[in-house]
Structure 1
Amino acid sequence: MESLNFDKYPFLAELGLEKESLGCYTNGEWKSGEETVNSVSPHDNSITATAKLATADHYEECIKSMEEEKAAWMMLPAPARGEIVRQIGEKIREKKDALGSLIALEMGKIKAEGDGEVQEVIDICDFACGLSRSLEGKVLPSERPGHMMLECWNPLGIVGVITAFNFPCAVFGWNACIGLVCGDLMLWKGSETTPLVSIATAKIFADVLKENGFNSVVSLCQGTGKEVGELMTNDKRVPLVSFTGSTRVGRIVGNTVSKRFGKTILELGGNNAVIILDDANVDMALKACAFSAVGTCGQRCTSLRRIYLQDNIYDDFVEKLVKSYSTVKIGDPLDNDTLVGPLHNKAGVEIYKNAIEEIKNQGGKILTGGNVIEGDGNYVEPTIVEIDKDSEIVQTETFAPILYVFKIKDVDEAIKYNNDVPQGLSSSLFTNDLKNYFKWIGPLGSDCGLVNCNIGSSGAEIGGAFGGEKETGGGRESGSDAWKQYMRRSTCTVNFSTSLPLAQGIKFDV
């Protein structure tokens, strides 16, 4: 099919894309099958370009090529691997504006957020480069004389990465940069609805690696979930699968991989809450909540879904929040004045419409928004809803800009409701009382993976481990010691004496 808008966006050619780009890279070559997928702009649902998808045969070719290159990459010293990741970061810096524009065009988030997503990859390259010189084990005391114990960490091998449409560049970067310095090879299946971002990002990684003599360390297999995704999750040659997506699909991935005793990193749904107490800086809380709720048109896994307000500040806060929504400019994500772009696709609009109908059926009151914006694009109104705290729909993550507001008596009631959902990703408490904060982060506080104070629920730094509990999947990516998931641990004991004492004082004379 002839593309409609390719020539309209010069940054596409700058990223090495074509009107019909190939969706598989391995062994130093780009290739594909005959099946194509359109890259559709959420702004007006026009076709930008097409991508030719990878097939099951290409998947097998990727695996075999990576197996052939595995030993050379694993045996390269970690600081040398880190230097290559540093070079990848430099190349991404050069392409930041173009890649950020492509994310805005194909995913639908505004240009500033697209640029921010690319910056995350640059930052994780820097982090990983430093990590390559500080990967560490432990020396442990032995109970036996003349013995020493230590921990040794080695690469897993091939890591499969399956990413979602909402962060089509950054999530691969989190996994790839850490995995690469750990000595792993990365096999990537990006979202079927953001194929150009996957191809453009993979080109940058692949070009740098090729300059350094490696043709398959990062391989892209941009196929369907039914074909490529299922092959990856069932493949014993892929000891770790990192999956970002819905809880429903994540449960399938987790079960499939665990049956073959593989490992998973699961980054699944979020149903994130902010608690605002009457001792908080309310103006700061208002700004944080507005961005967390409407940013990326509510399509972040960390997007704000629920606000719990102490009852004596509820009316004033909600009134100001509703007023702030009226000032948000909705429109073309490539327009620098836009604050909220479209939902990613028509399916997202249907999900939004169905949620609004269900809210009404469950007695919810729409304070602002609640409508689809007529036109060619996938635009909806950011929505604020009053509804009973125990309503069934509040338990569900709707991947759209729908925010529920509730009254609570005190911090203890708020913590109860924060935790009373199946998901456990991000949470935040606004307070100026340290007693409240330390209760919030303690054993009876928030049960989420991200537990914030006086900031919004969305927007995490790369230095900390990112991920959540319960139906969010339990995986961790990015910083802190998340690198341990990409390696295998050996407890190593050496006897440097001339006797053979047994542990636990056992006597066994022969």
Structure 2
Amino acid sequence: MSSLPFTLKDPALFNNEAYCHGEWIGAKSGKRFSVEDPGSGQCFTSCPDLGEEDVDAVVRSSQKAFEEYRLLNPRTRAELLLKWHHLIRESRDDIATILTYETGKPLSEAFGEIDYATGFTWWFAGEAERIRGDISTPSAPGRRVLVIKQPIGVCAALVPWNFPIAMILRKVGAALAAGCTMIAKPSPETPLTTLTLAYLAEKAGFPKGVFNVMTTSNENTPSLSEAICKHPLVQKVSFTGSTRVGSIIASHCAVGLKKVTFELGGNCPFIIFDDANQDLALAQLTSLKWRHAGQACVTANRIYVQEGIYEKFLTKLVEHAKTIKLGHGSMESVTMGPLTTQRGVDKAKSQVKDALQRGAKIAHKCQVPSDSELRNGYFFGPTILRDMDSSMLVTQEESFAPIAGLYKFKTEAEAVKLANDTDMGLASYVFTRDVNRSWRMMEQLEAGMIGLNTGSSSAAESPFGGMKMSGYGKESGKDVAIAEYLISKTITMTVESASL
């Protein structure tokens, strides 16, 4: 602990071993991988590099736990979730510190993620007791039909590095509320907060094996994930990540006909009409676009501004960008941290270079810090590009970086066409004061989530998920999210007439 670049109020919250059946374990191979601080580029700890040979024992632990946990009273499951929720809230300061050092995001955003994420533990604690079956009288005489809902079994969560706490609690919260057990495979960049959550789940009283965590390197991630997906005892897989990897996961799960939930690529349009409240649009855009240095699936990837306000709005956006303080996330004055990986920086540079070669112009670019302590960090300054068009990589791909590309449009029909000109459909945002236009846009935009005069489209009580190549299935929300972890059994029975 003395070698860590931070101190914790409760050192027990820091764990760097994998977790199975209530025990901290290493890899059978004995190998480990390094965890880096994106703000400095320095390795500060390591975790076990589990391989496919480690999968069977972990899955069998989860299956053993499932056989008992599935029978637990829903009220008891709810109480365990609430206890876990309160322990996470009590450890908020320490968890935020760990989160900042493994993701790079500023402390203020780390606290924001924890507050957002614990909305799921609170919500699913309530959902545990709302699972209901059904009973009906069919057309055939003398019969009754019952439908009962039961937990599907051992589940797996394959989660990304950008919001590691939120992704875990959104998936695991639903599974545990339903009566399933869960194996989490965090990203190699951000395993530590997941291990902290596992420690607190044990402290909350969840039985051994209900929540297991497998850590692994980028090198072993493909084979380990495949082994989890194809294991015969795993019944459900929830994956958040890129569309490309989602397609691979889908093929693995098809082998055993596993139930799957996918939240994949975004490429989300943000449309601002001439009649919009520009100050509101600016506030929502900047909160959405710059959060975690643009590394969010629901971020504004393509910003369409109607021609009548294009120049005025661009000026306002540039002025706001000038107030951003770039630096290490642990510094209180910092409002934007580094990207989480070097490959993210390389991709961002490539996208900007491509846009400039195709006619875009830089309206603003924040300089990367030159401090000796930050020189090796994965920094990319917030960059605003003007005169964008559909030929550019930024238009066609998720940036996952603080690149704000502005496009000009004339008519509503043109805005709809441009917004829908992507194979993804996670979220779309529209700013207008015209209620009729709001309804038309809501119905015509091809996205699973629509933000009308807001840049916030996610909460525990509302369904989260996309369409087209952005995936299928829903996370969070009433009924739909927990249904992803349930099976329905139909029982048909004969009721004989009473003898006279």
For the criterion TM > 0.5, the same-fold answer is yes
Give the Cα separation in 2 of the matches to 1:235 and 1:370.
48
CA contact (8 A) 1:188 1:219 kept: yes
Amino acid at match of 2:489: S
Query: How many angstroms does 1:497 deviate by?
Result: 2.5
Amino acid at match of 2:11: E
Partner of 2:271: 275
Partner of 1:401: 402
Query: How many angstroms does 1:121 deviate by?
Result: 3.0
Partner of 2:21: 27
1:284 aligns with 2:276: no
Secondary structure in 2 aligned to 1:215? coil
Q: In terms of mean alpha carbon deviation, does 240-249 or 372-381 score higher?
A: 372-381
Specify whether residues 171 and 91 from structure 1 end up closer, same or farther in structure 2 by C-alpha distance, changes over 3 A only. same
Amino acid at match of 1:285: A
Partner of 2:471: 473
Query: How many angstroms does 1:148 deviate by?
Result: 2.0
Q: C-alpha offsets along residues 93-123 of structure 1, whole Å, 9 cap, x if unaligned? A: 1111111121111101111221122223322
Amino acid at match of 1:27: H
Amino acid at match of 2:495: F
Partner of 2:70: 74
Query: How many angstroms does 1:392 deviate by?
Result: 4.1
1:482 aligns with 2:477: no
Query: How many angstroms does 1:4 deviate by?
Result: 8.5
Give the Cα separation in 2 of the matches to 1:80 and 1:194.
31
Give the Cα separation in 1 of the matches to 2:254 and 2:63.
22
Specify whether residues 12 and 416 from structure 1 end up closer, same or farther in structure 2 by C-alpha distance, changes over 3 A only. farther
Secondary structure in 1 aligned to 2:404? strand
Give the Cα separation in 1 of the matches to 2:88 and 2:215.
20
Give the Cα separation in 1 of the matches to 2:142 and 2:465.
42
Q: C-alpha offsets along residues 41-69 of structure 1, whole Å, 9 cap, x if unaligned? A: 11111222222233334321111122222
CA contact (8 A) 2:157 2:183 kept: yes
Partner of 2:383: 383
Amino acid at match of 1:462: A
Give the Cα separation in 2 of the matches to 1:243 and 1:337.
35
Secondary structure in 2 aligned to 1:473? coil
Q: In terms of mean alpha carbon deviation, does 138-147 or 149-158 score higher?
A: 138-147
Give the Cα separation in 1 of the matches to 2:274 and 2:241.
36
Specify whether residues 391 and 12 from structure 1 end up closer, same or farther in structure 2 by C-alpha distance, changes over 3 A only. farther
Give the Cα separation in 2 of the matches to 1:257 and 1:370.
43
Q: C-alpha offsets along residues 323-352 of structure 1, whole Å, 9 cap, x if unaligned? A: 111111111211222111100021111111
Partner of 2:452: 453
1:440 aligns with 2:441: yes
Partner of 1:506: none
Secondary structure in 1 aligned to 2:257? coil
Secondary structure in 1 aligned to 2:205? helix
CA contact (8 A) 2:157 2:171 kept: yes
Identity %, equivalent residues? 28
Query: How many angstroms does 1:477 deviate by?
Result: 0.9
Query: How many angstroms does 1:371 deviate by?
Result: 6.4
Give the Cα separation in 2 of the matches to 1:49 and 1:274.
39
Q: In terms of mean alpha carbon deviation, does 309-318 or 56-65 score higher?
A: 56-65
Query: How many angstroms does 1:146 deviate by?
Result: 2.5
CA contact (8 A) 1:330 1:338 kept: yes
CA contact (8 A) 1:89 1:121 kept: no
Give the Cα separation in 2 of the matches to 1:417 and 1:371.
31
Specify whether residues 372 and 329 from structure 1 end up closer, same or farther in structure 2 by C-alpha distance, changes over 3 A only. closer
CA contact (8 A) 2:318 2:364 kept: yes
Q: In terms of mean alpha carbon deviation, does 352-361 or 156-165 score higher?
A: 352-361
Secondary structure in 1 aligned to 2:161? coil
CA contact (8 A) 1:32 1:58 kept: no
Within the candidate set 222, 231, 234, 1:238 is matched to 234
Query: How many angstroms does 1:298 deviate by?
Result: 0.5
Q: In terms of mean alpha carbon deviation, does 222-231 or 346-355 score higher?
A: 222-231
Q: In terms of mean alpha carbon deviation, does 177-186 or 371-380 score higher?
A: 371-380
Secondary structure in 2 aligned to 1:169? helix
CA RMSD of aligned residues (A): 1.9
User: Normalising by structure 2, what TM-score?
Assistant: 0.93
Partner of 1:17: 14
After TM superposition, the structure 1 = structure 2 runs for residues 113-192 of structure 1, keeping only pairs within 5 Å, are 113-192=109-188
CA contact (8 A) 1:32 1:55 kept: no
CA contact (8 A) 2:119 2:459 kept: no
Partner of 1:504: none
CA contact (8 A) 1:15 1:99 kept: no
Secondary structure in 1 aligned to 2:34? strand
Partner of 2:200: 204
CA contact (8 A) 1:353 1:372 kept: no
CA contact (8 A) 1:428 1:453 kept: yes
Give the Cα separation in 2 of the matches to 1:126 and 1:225.
31
Q: In terms of mean alpha carbon deviation, does 430-439 or 53-62 score higher?
A: 53-62
Secondary structure in 2 aligned to 1:11? coil
Specify whether residues 388 and 329 from structure 1 end up closer, same or farther in structure 2 by C-alpha distance, changes over 3 A only. closer
Amino acid at match of 2:23: E
User: Normalising by structure 1, what TM-score?
Assistant: 0.91
Give the Cα separation in 2 of the matches to 1:440 and 1:27.
49
CA contact (8 A) 2:326 2:369 kept: no
1:90 aligns with 2:86: yes
After TM superposition, the structure 1 = structure 2 runs for residues 313-332 of structure 1, keeping only pairs within 5 Å, are 313-332=309-328
Query: How many angstroms does 1:498 deviate by?
Result: 4.8
Q: C-alpha offsets along residues 146-199 of structure 1, whole Å, 9 cap, x if unaligned? A: 222232211110001110010111111111111111110001110011121222
Partner of 2:248: 252
Secondary structure in 2 aligned to 1:300? coil
Q: How many equivalent pairs are there?
A: 487
Amino acid at match of 1:407: K
CA contact (8 A) 2:177 2:482 kept: no
Give the Cα separation in 1 of the matches to 2:368 and 2:473.
35
Specify whether residues 191 and 12 from structure 1 end up closer, same or farther in structure 2 by C-alpha distance, changes over 3 A only. farther
Query: How many angstroms does 1:206 deviate by?
Result: 2.6
CA contact (8 A) 1:395 1:422 kept: no
CA contact (8 A) 1:462 1:479 kept: yes
Give the Cα separation in 2 of the matches to 1:141 and 1:389.
58
Partner of 2:39: 43
Structure 1, unaligned runs of 5 or more: 500-510
Within the candidate set 207, 216, 219, 2:212 is matched to 219
CA contact (8 A) 2:340 2:378 kept: yes
Give the Cα separation in 2 of the matches to 1:53 and 1:12.
28
